[in-house]
Structures are given as structure tokens and as C-alpha cells.
Structure 1
Amino acid sequence: MKIATYNVENIFDLQRSGYEYKEYIPNTYSQWNKKNYQKKLKNIAKVIKDIDADIIALQEIESLQALKDLRYELKRHGLYYQYYKIANYKNTTIKVALLSKIPFIYTHEIAVTSSYKYRNLLEAKFKINNEELYIIVNHWKSKAGPESMRIVSAKKLLKRVKEIGCQKNIILLGDFNSDYEEYKLFKRKRKHNDTNGITGLNHILGTINNQNNSLYANIAYCEFYNLWYDTEKEKRYSYIYRGKKEALDNILVSKALLDSKGIDYKKGSLRTFNEKYLFKGKRIYRWQMSRKKPRVHRGKGYSDHLPLIAEFIY
């Protein structure tokens, strides 16, 4: 069973909702129009088709309409996802979603706070070979905000995980806007470190303890293993910022998925999807817009993130 996560970089539909980013207001100077929308859908559908995951988590989808349009484009490419869901209870500009070949037992939207600064999370429960599997899709606050904002999302996520039960098969994935070792990287960045060195991904979700660091062992009894540690260090990236490779996207698994019983993570299977066509030189071939403002869509490129894939056996 192949599970993936992909920040698709701003798939906006062609309806005016009033919440769009300026350059995605349809049919204006920026040329977010039918032609460019269809090109964006076609390009992202090619990537998702080539991954061919059983379940794929998506970030930066504007609306249910945009998700349906992407799903239709995938069907045209020969890949059919019968089951789909978007976290659309709150009018945030962009949202998280799921496409799946496997039926949901249920889906449940987790409101982090009532503020539009925080995107809702999306939880889905599956039954595979008579075993329960929980998947929660995340898109935490970007690095434009301090770590305290990502901690708000992390605490809400941890609260929900504890309600499900830490011993269950749980996968947390998505764009956490956090490195797998964020606690090391952000120490020098005063703009981010407003939490006395505590991070959402490492401390609240307990991934730090898998590095034999017992200093914060009492913060979270629910501990997750970050699958980035299951691949070579130089391959641990899904994003490139000013020439520097970063791992903002993560797939975390509960201990039950590592116990060689029932559903289990397939060792050595974590990887970024990094086909040549997703790069232009040393850069990720993101969706292209003019540099001059107002920015204009050029109708080329994919996303500023690379997809992340993990395999599971059952």
C-alpha cells in the first residue's frame, strides 16, 4: 500500500469566493483563467498519476470544486480515486484534502482554532485487512510565523491522537513547515524561536525521543517516528529555499506501524518523488509566474514542493 503527501502549490478554482490570493482572482490581469487552470490541473495530475498512490494527502487546494476538477483530470489520465474529501468547513484561502482508492470508514475535520490563521486538519479512518488505520493530513503555519503558531497546531493534533489512542496505527503527514530536526535548525533564528527551543514537530509529537534524547521525554507519551530517518541524509528534502534543501513535508508513524504485526511500514521505502521533469536546473520546477508585479501566470511548471512517498505492508 503506497501512501503519499504532496503540497500542490495553490490549486484555485475559477469561482470568485472573495478569499483568493490576489493573483488567483479568476479572469483578471494575472491571467488565472481557464487555459492556465487546466494547464495547472494537467501538470499536477501527471505527477499524481506517476506516483500512483493508494492514498494521497494534498495541501493547498482552494475548494471542493478544485479537488473535483483535479480528480476528473486524474480520471482522464487513467487514475481513478473513488473516495475523496477536503477540509472545507472553514473559509481559509487554501485547504488540505485526501484522494483514496480505499474507502473511508469516516472522515473528520479537526479545527485547530476558530482563527483563519490556522488551517483545519483532516482525519480519515480506514479498515484494511480487518485492522484500523488513521491518517491525519496537516498543513501548519508557514515560516512567515513563529514556532508558537506551529505548536498550536501540534497540540491540537496531539490531543486528537490521544483520543484515538497512542497505541493505534496512526500516520501523520503533510506540510508541517518544520524540518525533521527543527529543534536544531531554528535555535539561531530569533524570528522563529519564541518558544524557548520547544518545537511542535519534535517535542510535542515526540519525534525527538527517537534520537535517544531524553531531555523532553515527559512532554509527550505519544511518540512518533519520522520516516525521514529511514533514508540517507542527503536525500532528506522536499523543498529548496534559496538553494538550500529543506524537509518541510513529513510522514510520521506511530509505534504500532513499526512492530512487525498487522499493518506495518515497509522499511527503506520512504522517498521523495524526484523525477527529472520536476526540476529546472538545480531548482524545483514550480508553477511559473512573472517576477514583475502584478504577477502573471505563465502556464508552466508544477509545484514548489516535491511529493513524499512511503509504503506499508499488511
Structure 2
Amino acid sequence: MKIATYNVENLFDLQKSGHEYKEYIPFSQSNWDNRNYKTKLKNLSRVIKDIDADIIALEEIESKQALDDLKFQLKRDGLYYQYAKIANAKNTTIKVAILSKFPFVYTKELVVGYAHSFRNILEVKLKVNNEDLYIFVNHWKSKAGPESQRISYAKTLKKRIQELGNKNIIALGDFNSHYEEYKSFKRKRKLNDTDGITGINHILGTINYQKKSSATQNIKYNELYNLWYDIEENERYSYIYRGKKEALDNILISSSLLDHKGIDYKKDSLSNFAPKYLFKGKSIYRWQMSRGKVKKHKAQGYSDHLAVIAEFTLGTNQ
């Protein structure tokens, strides 16, 4: 079973809701029109089809319409996801979503904060090989805001994980956090408003398990293991900012996915999805817009993030 997460970079539909980013107002000077929208859908479909995950979490989807259109494009291109859900209970500008070949037992949304800037976390329960699997799709606050805002997401997620107990849990998405955020953010005063405490490392407990999964033992049921540790350090990235590789997108798993029973993480299977066509020189070939006072869409490019993928085996319960 292949599971992936992909920030698709602003997939907006062509219906005007009033919440759009300026350059995504349909049929405006920025040329967010049928041609650009169809090209964006086609390009994203190419990436997602090449990944061919059984379950893929998506970030930066504007609406159910945009998700449905992407799902339809994928079907036209030969990849069918029967099950889809977007976290649209709250009218944030962009939202998280999921596409799955496995049926959902239920979906629900975790409310992080009531301010418009806080996006809901999508919780999905699936039945895979007669086992329960819980997936949490995240898109945490960007580093335009301080760490305290990302801690709000981490605490909401941690509370729910504690309620579930010792289950098969995958938390994935764009955490806007490095897998060792506690090291990288200390030097940045505008981020560190929490006395060195980070959401991804301290609240979710990933700071305690910094070895390969094969060497990681005794993870507490309410703490998580970050799969980035399973690959070489120079390969741990999903984003490039001013030439610097960053790991903003993460896949975190609970201890029960490392116990060699039932659903289990396939050791060393983590990877970023980095074919040559997703790069332009040394940069990720993101969706292209012109410079100038009015930015215009060029009907070229993909996303500013790379997808992250992990594989799981579906054994029998011991």
C-alpha cells in the first residue's frame, strides 16, 4: 500500500467565492481562466498518476469543485479514486483533502482555532485488510507566523491521538516544519516565541526517535516517528527556498505501524517524488506566473512542493 502527501500549490476553481487570493480571482487580469485551470489540472494529474498512490493527501485545494475536477482529470488520464473528501466545514481560502482507493469508515474535521487563518485537520478512518487505519491530513500555519501557531495544530492533533490510544495512525501533510525544527528555528526570533518548544518535535514527540525505523524501539503510543529518518540526510527535502532544501512536508507514524503485525511500514521505503520534469535547473518547477504589478498565469509548471511517499505492507495479524 502506497501512501503519499502532496501540496499542489493553490488549486483554485473558476467559481468566484470572494475568498480567493488576488491572482486566483477567476477571469480577472491575472488570467486565471479555463486554459490555465485546465493546464493546472492536467499537470497535477500527471504527477499524481506517476506517483500512483493508494491513498494521497492533498494540501492547498480551494473547494470540493476543485477536488472533483482533479479527480475527473485523473480518471480521464487512467487513475481512478473512488473515495474523496475535502475539509470544507470551515471557509478557509485553501483546504486539505484526500483521495483513496480504500473506502472511508468515517471522515471528520479537527478544529484547531476559530480564527480564519487556522485550517481544520482532516481525520479519516479506513478499513484496510480488515484493520483500522487512521489518517490525519495537516496543513499547518506557514512561517509567516510564529511557532505558537503551529503548536496549536500540534496540540489539537496530539489530543486526538491520545483519545484513540494505541492505533494505526499516520499524520501527514505540510507541517511547515523541518523534521528537526527545534534546531533550525532557534536562531529566528520572529519564529521562536515559545522558549524553544516546537509543535512537530516536542508536542508530537518526534524529538525522541531520531534513528532509522529499524533501530527505533518502544515508541510511546501518543508519540510519533518521522519517516524522514529512514533516508539519507541529503535526500530529506520536499521544498527548495532560495537554493536551500527544506523538509516542510512530513509523514509521521505511530508505533503500531512498526510492530511487524498487520499493517506495517515497509522499512526504507520513504522517498520524495523527484523526477526530472519537476525541476527547472536547481529549482522545483513550480506553477509559473509573470512578474510585475499584475501577476499573470503562464499555463506552465506544477507545484512548489514535491510529494512525499511511503509504502506499507498488509500482513496478517499475529
Fold-level similarity (TM above 0.5): yes
Counterpart amino acid of residue 147 in structure 1: E
Kept in 1, the 8 Å contact 2:10–2:60? The answer is yes
Q: How does 1:33-52 map to 2 (within 5 A)?
A: 33-52=33-52
SS of equivalent to 1:99 = strand
Amino acid at match of 1:211: Q
Distance 2:274 2:65 in 1: 28
Helix, strand or coil at the partner of 1:126? strand
Cα distance in 2 between the residues matched to 1:256 and 1:204: 19
SS in 2 for 1:47: helix
Kept after mapping to 1: 8 A contact 2:84/2:97 = yes
Deviations 1:104-123 (A, max 9, x none): 11111111111111100101
Q: 1:221 offset after TM fit, Å?
A: 6.6
- In structure 2, list runs of 5 or more residues that go unmatched: 212-219
Corresponding residue for residue 28 of structure 1: 28
Q: Does 1:255 align with 2:255?
A: yes
SS of the residue corresponding to residue 105 of structure 1 reads: strand
The percent of aligned pairs where both chains have the same amino acid is 72
The amino acid across from 1:188 in the alignment is R
Which runs of at least 4 in structure 1 moved beyond 6 Å after TM superposition? none
Alignment correspondent of 2:217: none
Aligned to 1:89: 89
Q: 1:230 aligns to what? A: 230
CA distance in 2, matches of 1:150, 1:225: 18
Distance 2:41 2:226 in 1: 30
Q: For the residues of structure 2 that align with 1:239 and 1:271, how far apart are their CA atoms?
A: 13
The unaligned stretches of length 5 or more in structure 1 are 213-219
**Are residues 1:77 and 2:74 paired?**
no
TM-score, scaled to structure 2: 0.95
Letter in 2 for 1:162: Q
Q: Which residue of 1 aligns with 2:136?
A: 136
Letter in 2 for 1:278: L
Corresponding position: 1:244 with 2:247: no
CA distance in 1, matches of 2:252, 2:131: 19
Q: Whole-Å Cα distance in 1 between the matches of residues 23 and 209 of structure 2?
A: 42
Q: Secondary structure at the residue paired with 1:237?
A: coil
Quote the offset at 1:211 in angstroms.
3.2
Q: Which residue of 1 aligns with 2:123?
A: 123
The superposition leaves residues 36-77 of structure 1 with CA deviations (integer Å, 9 ceiling, x where unpaired) of 000000000000000000000000000000000000000010
| Structure 1 residue aligned with 2:67 | 67
- Residues 221/134 of structure 1: CA separation in 2 closer, same or farther (3 Å cut): closer
Residue 281 of structure 1: how far off its partner (Å): 0.4
Segment of structure 1 superposing worse, 47-56 or 111-120: 111-120
1:13-57 C-alpha deviation (Å, 9 max, x unpaired): 000000000000000000000000000000000000000000000
1:242-298 CA-partner distances (Å, limit 9, x unpaired): 000000000000000011111100001000000000000000000000111211001
Q: Which residue of 2 aligns with 1:171?
A: 170
**How much has 1:237 moved relative to structure 2?**
0.1
Question: Deviation digits for residues 161-191 of structure 1, max 9, x if unmatched?
Answer: 11111x1100000000000000000010001
Aligned length: 306
Structure 1 segment 257-296 matched on structure 2, within 5 A:
257-296=257-296
Measure the CA separation in 2 of the matches of 1:100 and 1:211: 30
Q: Secondary structure at the match of 1:107?
A: strand
Aligned to 1:182: 181
- Does residue 1:161 correspond to 2:161, yes or no? yes
For residue 13 of structure 1, what is the aligned residue in structure 2?
13
SS at match of 2:209: helix
